[in-house]
Structure 1
Amino acid sequence: MDRLMAIASRLAGIGGVVGVCLGGSRARGTHRPDSDYDLGLYYRAPLDTAALRVLAAELTGARVEVTEPGGWGPWVNGGAWLTMDGLQIDWIYRDLDRVHRIWRECQIGQFEVGVQAGHPLGVYSHAYVGELSLGRVLADPTRELVALQQETRCYPQPLRAALIANARWAVPFTLSGARKGAARGDAFYTAGCLFRVVGLLVHALHAEAECWVLNEKGAVQSAGALPIAPADFDARAHALFGALATTPASLNARLDDAEALATDVWDKLS
């Protein structure tokens, strides 16, 4: 940790970097021995990427690809992957003004879902807020990150209501469309609908529990561990994807299971 703090301190001295926050499983204490260290670089343009490249080369002893903002897509919007003495340390850009804007939207019940490589369900905008809320601030010379983090520790009730309302209409709508694909034996389309339905239920359960969801990885297990979750939620959700057949009868049976799971979730929501 001392080494991470030292790296974060140097990053905070680079032009444009406002602060650095440890995120992911390392921040939440749920990491495995081989888990990466995710360092969120909260910045305001212009970001001195040339200085970042120099620092990355110094730390690793090798040339490192450091992207410009937007280099990895619209949501996971750039950074670098570093290897230091066998440790994987990721630098991940976060536009701080965008985080502030999303936080304001969360407080009035607004969110969006963006397309991003590596995120099959899409990036829910409030994940930006959740990252900071659940993260560990390592460097913050102006104290702006800490102040915003303290605000985000209180889950916005308008966001909670919006996520639950979205799931209540989108789940039956998606399942209704999936029935058409199932009637044709279209396992691909049906599986996609099932994935989206489970994702919507996961977000609704976390919203009801006033817990942030950061991405799809481990989200079903996390939802299943919530006190409000229906019994065996995670096992039932995962079972929906086990070797989907291509007959209308088998696909409709899985959709029946998904509808039953959704009904049990609705019973748990206020």
Structure 2
Amino acid sequence: MTDPLLEHLVAVLSGVGGIETVVLGGSRSRGDALPSSDYDLGLYFRDQRPIDVGGLRRAMEPLIDPGSEAIITAIGEWGPWIVGGGWLTIGGQAVDLLYRNVDAVSATIDRAVAGTITVDYQPGHPHGFISTIWLAEVHHCQPLHDPAGAVAGLKCRLQPYPRRLALALVDRFQWEIGFAATGAAKAIARDDRSYIAGSIFRGLACAAQVICAINGRYVMNEKGALALAGGLPLAPPNLGARIDALWDRFAERDHAGAIERLVMIERDVAGLVDDWRRTQDQFPFR
């Protein structure tokens, strides 16, 4: 770690009661951050030793830029999946904190490995909060303070990509691509552009989940998922350009043309899935 701000944040956060592990997530973890990119820090705790939120607020208060908006929530204030955390500005940089319960994440991994996933309504996630997001967070993060190896242990359980998870994601999302296209087509007569756009988005988001699953890739969220999917070995050809063309058609009010492009993507995804199902044993999934 060579980032002075990050080093200071980790030193402060690791001293707060209940914080067992501090991890770096987001673009700074992936290595594609801009100088202005947020610092996304995951704070992991245990059921029996929750974060001392009051202590966290006291520890962070001297670091927060004067006059800036600062939010540090209670555990659970942002719901069961986002949980809680903070939005801060420190040294002119946006610093986002997210609480994560090690025990809850571990149980979610157990269920996912066994082929059970959930999708819940969540503001900020227009396709819903898919439980595998927690797996993606663990897989992609960089542990900065993990003395008991809590997150390191979770990471080990995610490789190789679980076969039952891939099958569950395909079964959950593949059918909806065509279903979304059919629903969008029925709205053309009413010229309900919002419904058509929403249905197309859902179809594309489902396609991204399926493509990433058959490639054994964890998806963090909807943002960037299609770009990720389009660059994978098992993907429809020229996926990015085809999606651009789809939305161009929509912008021109050629709704039928936009939907037809979604249908063609669905057909390509179906062909990829069929091939993948026949050759699964060649892939390093457990």
TM-score range (shorter-chain normalised) is: over 0.9
Query: Equivalent residues in 2 for 1:144-163 (5 A)?
Result: 144-163=150-169
Query: C-alpha displacement at 1:132, in angstroms?
Result: 0.9
TM-score by length of 1: 0.92
CA–CA distance in 1 between the matches of 2:120 and 2:249?
A: 29
Corresponding residue of 1:17: 19
CA–CA distance in 2 between the matches of 1:112 and 1:241?
A: 29
2:25 maps to a residue whose letter is G
TM-score by length of 2: 0.87
Deviations 1:8-66 (A, max 9, x none): 24323322212011001110112122111100011124321001101111222548321
Corresponding residue of 1:191: 197
* Closer/same/farther in 2, CA of residues 171 and 61 from structure 1, 3 Å limit: closer
CA–CA distance in 2 between the matches of 1:186 and 1:60?
A: 46
CA–CA distance in 1 between the matches of 2:185 and 2:126?
A: 21
Corresponding residue of 1:205: 211
Q: Is the 8 A contact 2:70 2:89 kept in 1?
A: no
* Closer/same/farther in 2, CA of residues 225 and 246 from structure 1, 3 Å limit: closer
Q: Is the 8 A contact 1:72 1:78 kept in 2?
A: yes
* Closer/same/farther in 2, CA of residues 143 and 6 from structure 1, 3 Å limit: farther
Query: C-alpha displacement at 1:243, in angstroms?
Result: 6.5
Query: Equivalent residues in 2 for 1:160-239 (5 A)?
Result: 160-239=166-245
Secondary structure at the aligned position of 2:172 is classed as helix
Deviations 1:158-204 (A, max 9, x none): 01011112222222222222221123221111111100000000011
2:123 maps to a residue whose letter is A
The runs of 4+ residues in structure 1 deviating greater than 3 Å are 61-64
Deviations 1:217-241 (A, max 9, x none): 1111111111221221022123323
Query: C-alpha displacement at 1:246, in angstroms?
Result: 9.0
- Answer yes or no: is 1:55 the counterpart of 2:59: yes
- Answer yes or no: is 1:137 the counterpart of 2:143: yes
Judge which range, 88-97 or 165-174, deviates more.
165-174
CA–CA distance in 1 between the matches of 2:17 and 2:248?
A: 49
- Answer yes or no: is 1:70 the counterpart of 2:76: yes
Corresponding residue of 2:100: 94
CA–CA distance in 2 between the matches of 1:101 and 1:136?
A: 21
Equivalent pairs, count? 268
What is the identity percentage for the equivalent residue pairs of Structure 1 and Structure 2? 36
CA–CA distance in 2 between the matches of 1:72 and 1:242?
A: 36
Give unmatched runs, 5+ long, in structure 1.
none
Q: Is the 8 A contact 1:111 1:125 kept in 2?
A: yes
Query: C-alpha displacement at 1:77, in angstroms?
Result: 2.0
